Amino acid sequence: MSAVGASGGRPLLAVRNLTKLFGSFAACNGIDLDIQPGEIHALLGENGAGKSTLVKMLFGVLAPTSGEILWKGESVRIPSPGAARRLGIGMVFQHFSLFEALTVAENIALSLSPGISLSKVAEEASRLSHLYGLPLDPKAHVADLSVGERQRIEIVRALLQNPELIILDEPTSVLTPQEADRLFETLAKLKAEGRSVLYISHRLEEVQRICDRATVLRHGKVTGACDPRKETPASLARMMVGSDVASVSAAGTNTKGDVLLEARHLSVPARTPFAVTLKNVCLKVRGGEVLAIAGVAGNGQGELFDALSGEYPVADASAVSVRGRAVGNLGITARRLMGAGFVPEERHGHAAVPGLPLSDNLVLARNQSDRRTFLSGGILGIIRRAVVHIASRRISETMDVRKSGEDPAAGSLSGGNLQKYIVGRELDRQPAVLIVNQPTWGVDAGAASRIRQALVDLAKSGSAVLVISQDLDEIFEVATEIAVISEGRLSDAYPARELTREKIGLLMGGMYGKTEGEEAAHAH
Amino acid sequence: MRIELEKRANPSTFYSILSPFLALGLTVIAGGIMFALLGKSPGSALYSFFIEPLLDVWSLHEIAIKAAPLILIGVGLSVCYRSNNWNIGAEGQFIAGAIAGSIVPVVFHDWHSSLVLPLMLIFGMIGGALYAAVPAFLKAHMNTNEILTSLMLVYIAQLFLDWLVRGPWRSPDAYNFPVTRDFAPEAILPELVSSGRANLGFAFAIIAAIALWVMMRYTLKGFEITVLGQSERAGRFAGFSSKRMIWFSMLLSGALAGLAGISEVSGTIGKLQPIISPGYGFTAIIVAFLGRLNPLGIIAAGLFLALTYVGGEAVQLTLTVSDKVTRVFQGLLLFFVLSCDTLIQYKIRLVFSRLSRGNEGAL
């Protein structure tokens, strides 16, 4: 299906039959796309659909294997980001490229040609930032800024080049709802000036709210071009996923068990200059409960996971309890032996070693908890491969892990399938306590719904589940209780049905009301 | 035209097996060119370098003698390298083991007992391990780069040995030559078979290689080494400690290098002297990589590198070329092994399109 030109006239940017091959794998396969002047155009698709590859070709980071890019009707080659900028294309990446130790103005000056004085850069940057409603202090150090503010630097940096097309890659994935609203106002301003925006997202609501047209990608191909306002979230999701997505049936168990996981006044100093200090975190999760911890990335989620999992134990034993036993000073193995299971955020190189086969990655997490089953030979510790293989097959079958071959390297699985395996690896033990950080981050919708259902089912069977997530949709799907983490502090937990998105947004910004007397940290 | 390296989706098994042989082939070709430039016939030079030593019982024994320390050190280093600890100082640990093991036969030369030899071997291992403990401590607790510390300790060990044999340990009956007294017969490592000089050191090497192969392949310890080498964070998640792994791998490789050192002194030289190694500790690094960091591969690689020592001596005699030829061959080999390993992870692609120029990063 090719893109339908919604309005007449010459498109600002047109892409014809663009293909990018990595070896024999087609990341983009014959893509057609038109972007009109003054429109906000959404590029929708799941992770791995080819969105990033496409925009990298548009921004000169990757060279297309075949196909044509037309800029204002003329065929162009974009060999480098510099060339893209000269044409009038600006880009704001999902992962920022900022030096934390430098100031805002210094970071902006770095991307400009040398010889422009810093004060001039600062002046121009603050003029632009006011014009577009992106308040920024040019003298502030990047390390002190929130993720939303950092994104503004990137946007201002792109605007300084006066682009006609701005590409934004998943811009709201790191923002609070309120910060996202401000971003949308800025985008509306850019549109009013006649600039075009290519908006990459997998969040359907946003796309419906701000975008004029949408192009949907799946497996590197265009599967639809539409006016998102005329579609329903369900019909857009169908275009993205190719089938209907099962909805998660909520937890909703009323019988509350004992407190199985507890943190009492857990404080952890930052290990590195740019890490977050955990301040007096208290939480309780009972059997049958799913406590979800919401929060914008980089507010101490990783540090909280490290302290709860025991990868970095704390001095105070009573700061963390598993099933009533103080384990704060014990390592991850001791906590596993107490019946706890853990799923970290990063799949490659933390939850799994990508170069090792799946069965080895099963031994990774369960080498002590299943010592009697998986090992023999006493202190020699001979790994019983046959037994491990059987368990690995069982996990793959239960979680519907799609893989090539019997026991492939973990790194060869797609994100969703590897995550299903990593979650399944813990569920297979029937843990009394499960702590999961970003359970469905970068996972396709089908796998995400399966993983969420598994978490809910585990809680229903009487276990305590703690989910740390940035995804509010996910949180409302699985949680029975919700707390919010902001700058290393955790809010009180509220029953999920009493909370609204707006309330969570306020908590994310640091407005705790009764628990903390501080002023809102996110106000500008 | 330009050459592009394209990452493979999965490491290629084909090239991981072929790569060492490819490297050998390229080394032989480059060596042939070198001999031609020196004005020697490449064919006969390569023949006396690589083939002739294999045709003689005497030189086969020499190969076994030289392979023993290379394999012993190489398998220890493979454990280090697999766990991401870069011990470059095996030469120093070899010397430290030789010195520690020589305490009994040199200082207590009047004590005659069948316990002498076992004690020497144990002291040798302890000496090598203690010497490796220095960089291990510095890395685990001071966050020091072990490549630098272990390498620098090599020179300290060499000079310490030099001082010992010229000073306190110099033999009273050696006419002021810088050597210790000859070891007593019960302090000499027995020969393996009656046909030649090869000693028990070669047996130690094979036993150590097989034991470490079993450990790496079948045990949780081997798994721990692999995991920590590939991802420290995943190792921590598994409950493994990278600090303890620094200690384990450094002490193990140090002990094996020390065992190699005392075996060489006791079995081959029979006394301490200023120079006891033609660079075994460094050549063993090549052995470890040529053997794919796999203990069984290291046996083969150790034998091959031993051949370059023996072959180098042979061409030095028959063709009157410099003994540096051996080092050139070893250097070429390491260079080609590491280069060919690129093929395991990457595909080479020739791109014939013109690359148009664009100024990067301008406004």
Distance CA A305, CA B115 (A): 55
Tell me whether residues B363 and A85 touch, CB distance under 8 A. yes
Residues in chain B closer than 8 A to A332 (CB atoms) = 236-237, 239
Distance CA B92, CA B288 (A): 17
Tell me whether residues A336 and B360 touch, CB distance under 8 A. no
- Among B6, B228, B236, most A C-beta atoms within 10 A, so best to mutate, is B236
What pLDDT score was predicted for residue A243? 64
Residue of A296, A297, A311, A304 lying closest to A268 (CA atoms): A304
CA distances from B314 to B47, B120, B300, B333 (A): 10, 33, 21, 19
Residue A102 included in any domain: yes
**pLDDT tops 70 at residue B207:** yes
In this structure, the answer to whether residues A292 and A208 fall within a common structural domain is no
| Residue whose structure tokens are 């579609």 | A231
Residue type, A254: N
Query: In sequence order, which ranges of A338-432 are alpha helices (DSSP H)?
Result: 358-366, 371-374, 385-399, 415-427
Whether B6 and chain A come into contact, CB under 8 Å, resolves to yes
- The chain B residue lying nearest A337, using CA atoms, is B239
What pLDDT score was predicted for residue A255? 64
Residue A4 included in any domain: no
- The chain B residue lying nearest A305, using CA atoms, is B237
What pLDDT score was predicted for residue A47? 66
Of B9, B234, B358, the CB nearest to A82: B358
Residues in chain B closer than 8 A to A388 (CB atoms) = none
In this structure, the answer to whether residues A156 and A292 fall within a common structural domain is no
Which residues span the domain enclosing A148? Answer: 13-241
Residue A249 included in any domain: no
Tell me whether residues A367 and B223 touch, CB distance under 8 A. yes
In this structure, the answer to whether residues A237 and A268 fall within a common structural domain is no
Structure tokens at B191: 């020969």
Residue A428 included in any domain: yes
Question: Cα distance from A230 to chain B (closest Cα, Å)?
Answer: 39
What pLDDT score was predicted for residue B277? 94
Q: List the CATH number of the domain containing A416.
A: 3.40.50.300
CB B142 within 8 A of CB B128: no
Secondary structure letter of residue A328 according to DSSP? T
Query: Which of the four pLDDT bands, split at 50, 70 and 90, describes residue B257?
Result: very high
Tell me whether residues B361 and A82 touch, CB distance under 8 A. yes
Tell me whether residues A363 and B358 touch, CB distance under 8 A. no
Secondary structure letter of residue A286 according to DSSP? E
Question: Cα distance from A87 to chain B (closest Cα, Å)?
Answer: 11
pLDDT in tens, chain A (524 residues): 334 444 457 889 999 999 988 766 778 889 999 999 999 999 988 766 788 889 989 998 888 999 999 999 899 999 888 889 889 999 988 777 888 888 888 888 887 777 778 888 888 888 888 888 777 888 888 887 877 788 888 888 888 888 999 999 888 777 777 888 888 988 999 999 999 999 988 777 788 889 999 998 888 888 888 888 888 777 777 777 766 666 666 655 556 789 999 999 999 998 877 788 999 999 999 999 999 999 877 788 999 999 999 999 999 999 999 999 999 999 999 999 999 999 999 898 999 999 899 999 999 999 999 999 999 888 889 999 999 999 999 999 999 888 878 899 898 888 888 999 999 999 999 999 999 999 988 777 788 888 999 999 999 999 999 999 988 888 888 999 999 998 899 999 999 888 887 788 778 766 554 444 343 344 34
Residue type, A226: C
Residues in chain B closer than 8 A to A79 (CB atoms) = 355-358
Residues in chain B closer than 8 A to A364 (CB atoms) = 227, 234, 237-238
Residues in chain A closer than 8 A to B9 (CB atoms) = 23, 25, 412
Whether B228 and chain A come into contact, CB under 8 Å, resolves to no
> What SS3 state is found at A466?
strand
Total domain count for chain A?
2
Residue A520 included in any domain: no
Tell me whether residues A113 and B362 touch, CB distance under 8 A. yes
| Residue whose structure tokens are 């701000």 | A210
Whether B39 and chain A come into contact, CB under 8 Å, resolves to no
Tell me whether residues A351 and B360 touch, CB distance under 8 A. no
Secondary structure letter of residue B219 according to DSSP? B
Q: Burial level of A245, CB count in 10 A (0-12/13-18/19+)?
A: middle
What pLDDT score was predicted for residue A5? 41
Residue of B321, B324, B287, B328 lying closest to B30 (CA atoms): B328
Q: What is the 3-state secondary structure (H, E, C) of A188-200?
A: HHHHHCCCEEEEE
What pLDDT score was predicted for residue B196? 83
- Among A97, A312, A375, A382, most B C-beta atoms within 10 A, so best to mutate, is A382
Beta bridge partners of A224: A216
In this structure, the answer to whether residues A379 and A436 fall within a common structural domain is yes
What pLDDT score was predicted for residue A3? 41
Query: In sequence order, which ranges of B143-241 are alpha helices (DSSP H)?
Result: 146-166, 200-218, 220-230, 232-237
Whether B233 and chain A come into contact, CB under 8 Å, resolves to yes
Q: Burial level of A18, CB count in 10 A (0-12/13-18/19+)?
A: buried
Residues in chain A closer than 8 A to B10 (CB atoms) = 409, 412
**10 Å Cβ neighbour count for A456?**
23
In this structure, the answer to whether residues A158 and A270 fall within a common structural domain is no
Whether B351 and chain A come into contact, CB under 8 Å, resolves to no
- The chain B residue lying nearest A367, using CA atoms, is B238
Sign of the C-alpha dihedral computed for residues B244, B245, B250 and B253 taken in this order: positive
What pLDDT score was predicted for residue A247? 66
In this structure, the answer to whether residues A221 and A264 fall within a common structural domain is no
Tell me whether residues B356 and A112 touch, CB distance under 8 A. no
Where is the domain boundary, A241, A272, A298?
A: A241
Distance CA B109, CA B112 (A): 8
CB B99 within 8 A of CB B319: no
C-alpha Rg value of chain B to the nearest Å: 23
In this structure, the answer to whether residues A209 and A301 fall within a common structural domain is no
Mean pLDDT (chain B, rounded)? 91
> What SS3 state is found at A20?
strand
Tell me whether residues A364 and B237 touch, CB distance under 8 A. yes
Q: Mean pLDDT, to the nearest integer, of B35-56?
A: 89
Interface A–B counts its CB contacts (< 8 A) at: 96
Where is the domain boundary, A197, A214, A241?
A: A241
What pLDDT score was predicted for residue B362? 37
CB A438 within 8 A of CB A345: yes
- The chain B residue lying nearest A364, using CA atoms, is B238
Q: What is the ipTM of this complex?
A: 0.83
Tell me whether residues A23 and B347 touch, CB distance under 8 A. yes
Sign of the C-alpha dihedral computed for residues A344, A416, A420 and A244 taken in this order: positive
In this structure, the answer to whether residues A59 and A146 fall within a common structural domain is yes
CB A291 within 8 A of CB A434: no
For chain B, percent of residues with pLDDT exceeding 90: 69
**10 Å Cβ neighbour count for A207?**
25
Residues in chain B closer than 8 A to A352 (CB atoms) = 234
Whether B354 and chain A come into contact, CB under 8 Å, resolves to no
Residue A110 included in any domain: yes
- Among A112, A308, A337, A350, most B C-beta atoms within 10 A, so best to mutate, is A350
CA distances from B65 to A4, A279, B185, B198, B199 (A): 77, 63, 19, 5, 7
Distance CA A247, CA A230 (A): 23
Q: Mean pLDDT, to the nearest integer, of B152-160?
A: 97
Residue A518 included in any domain: no
Question: Cα distance from A428 to chain B (closest Cα, Å)?
Answer: 17
Q: Burial level of A65, CB count in 10 A (0-12/13-18/19+)?
A: middle
| Residue whose structure tokens are 């939303």 | A148
Longest CA span, chain A: 77
Residues in chain B closer than 8 A to A307 (CB atoms) = none
Tell me whether residues A331 and B6 touch, CB distance under 8 A. no
List phi, psi (to 5°) of A252.
Answer: 55, 35
Of A77, A355, A363, the CB nearest to B356: A77
Question: Cα distance from B343 to chain A (closest Cα, Å)?
Answer: 15
Distance CA A240, CA A205 (A): 14
Residue A411 included in any domain: yes
What pLDDT score was predicted for residue A511? 59
- Provide the b/e sequence for A78-96 (b: ≥16 CB within 10 Å): bebbbbbbbbbbbbbbeeb
Tell me whether residues A80 and B360 touch, CB distance under 8 A. yes
Report long-range pairs for A517-521 (Cβ below 8 Å, ≥24 apart).
Answer: A521/A486, A521/A487
- Provide the b/e sequence for A130-147 (b: ≥16 CB within 10 Å): eebebebbbeeebeebbb
Where is the domain boundary, A241, A275, A296?
A: A241
In this structure, the answer to whether residues A501 and A392 fall within a common structural domain is yes
In this structure, the answer to whether residues A150 and A277 fall within a common structural domain is no
DSSP A63-88: --SEEEEEETTEEE---SHHHHHHHT
